[in-house]
Amino acid sequence: AQTVTQSQPEMSVQEAETVTLSCTYDTSESDYYLFWYKQPPSRQMILVIRQEAYKQQNATENRFSVNFQKAAKSFSLKISDSQLGDAAMYFCAYRSADTGNQFYFGTGTSLTVIP
Amino acid sequence: KAGVTQTPRYLIKTRGQQVTLSCSPISGHRSVSWYQQTPGQGLQFLFEYFSETQRNKGNFPGRFSGRQFSNSRSEMNVSTLELGDSALYLCASSLAHGTDNSPLHFGNGTRLTVT
C-alpha cells in the first residue's frame, strides 16, 4: 500500500506571512493524483488543491500553490498571505490512477495562524 | 447544489450493539466512499461503492459492511461494536470511480462513541 508522510505535526504562521507544509509519499506507480485537504474544527474536509502526476506544472489556487517534485516524491503546500481562516488541520492525500477512489492520507499538519 | 449529508452527527452506543450510518452524496455523484478517522490511526479507507457495487475495500474486519442504493445513497453498518470503533466516520462522494482527477467531497461526519 502507498504511504503518505507528513513530518510536521504542527506548524504556525503569522497572519499575512507565508508557510509551507511538507508531504512525501512512497509509490512505485507512475500515474497518480495528489491532493491537499483542509479540515477546520467544523470537521468537514475541504479540498484545497490537486495535482496530476503527469503534469510538470505546479498547481495553484489563489493563495495556495504546490511544489511537486515527482522524482523526490514530494508534494508540499505553500500558503501565501496567511489568513485566520486558514487555521485548520491539513492532510496530504494520494490516489492511484488505477485503483478507483481509494485515497491514502497522511497524518496531518495542524496549522495555527497567529494574528 | 447540496453537499454530502451524513446522519446522524453523533451516536453513542454500547459494546456489542450494532449501528447504521447514513450518507447522501452530492446529486449526480455515483461513487461513495467511507473513511474512519481516529487520533491514533488518522484517516483510514473502509470501502467504496459505485453503481451499487463495492469496488474497493480497506483492511477492516467483516463487522464493517456497507451498501449503496439505486439513488446512490449509502449506508454503513458496524456490528458487534468494540470500544476501538469509537471514531469519526466520514463519507465522501465523487463524480467518477477514480478515472480522473475528481476529488472526494466529504460530509461532516458521524461521531460514534462506544461505551
Phi/psi at A59 (5° precision) = -75, 150
Cell numbers that stand for A55 in this block: 503534469
Query: Nearest-CA neighbor of B97 among B30, B46, B11?
Result: B30
Mapped onto helix, strand or coil, the DSSP state of residue A85 is helix
Phi/psi at B110 (5° precision) = -115, 120
Rounded Cα–Cα distance for residues A94 and A3 (Å) = 8
Report, as an integer, the average pLDDT of B41-56: 93
* Mutate which: B33, B101, B104, B108, vs A, most A CBs within 10 A: B101
Say which residue the cell 467531497 belongs to. Answer: B105
Decide: B46 and B63 in contact? Cβ < 8 Å: no
Report, as an integer, the average pLDDT of B70-99: 93
CB contact under 8 A, B42 and A100: no
- B-chain residues near A102 (CB < 8 A): 33, 45, 48, 56, 58, 98
Banded pLDDT at B100 (limits 50, 70, 90): confident
- The alpha carbon of residue B12 is apart from the nearest alpha carbon of chain A, in Å, by 18
Q: Using the predicted structure, report yes or no on whether residue A100 has a pLDDT greater than 90.
A: no
- The alpha carbon of residue A50 is apart from the nearest alpha carbon of chain B, in Å, by 8
Cell numbers that stand for A60 in this block: 495553484
CA gyration radius, chain A: 14
CA gyration radius, chain B: 13
- The amino acid that residue A84 corresponds to is L
- The reported pLDDT for the residue numbered A101 is 83
The residue among A41 and A15 whose pLDDT is bigger is: A15
Decide: B5 and B32 in contact? Cβ < 8 Å: no
* pLDDT tens by residue, A71-88: 999 999 999 999 999 999
A64 touches chain B (CB under 8 A): no
Rounded Cα–Cα distance for residues A63 and A112 (Å) = 17
Cell numbers that stand for A23 in this block: 508531504
CB contact under 8 A, A101 and B42: no
Q: Using the predicted structure, report yes or no on whether residue A97 has a pLDDT greater than 90.
A: no
Decide: B100 and B1 in contact? Cβ < 8 Å: no
Rounded Cα–Cα distance for residues B32 and B96 (Å) = 10
CB contact under 8 A, A99 and B56: yes
- The alpha carbon of residue A102 is apart from the nearest alpha carbon of chain B, in Å, by 7
* Mutate which: A54, A94, A101, vs B, most B CBs within 10 A: A101
A65 touches chain B (CB under 8 A): no
Say which residue the cell 461532516 belongs to. Answer: B108
Rounded Cα–Cα distance for residues B97 and B47 (Å) = 12
Other Cβ atoms within 10 Å of B98 Cβ, number: 23
Decide: A88 and A39 in contact? Cβ < 8 Å: yes
- How would DSSP label each residue in A17-31? S-EEE--EEE-S-SS
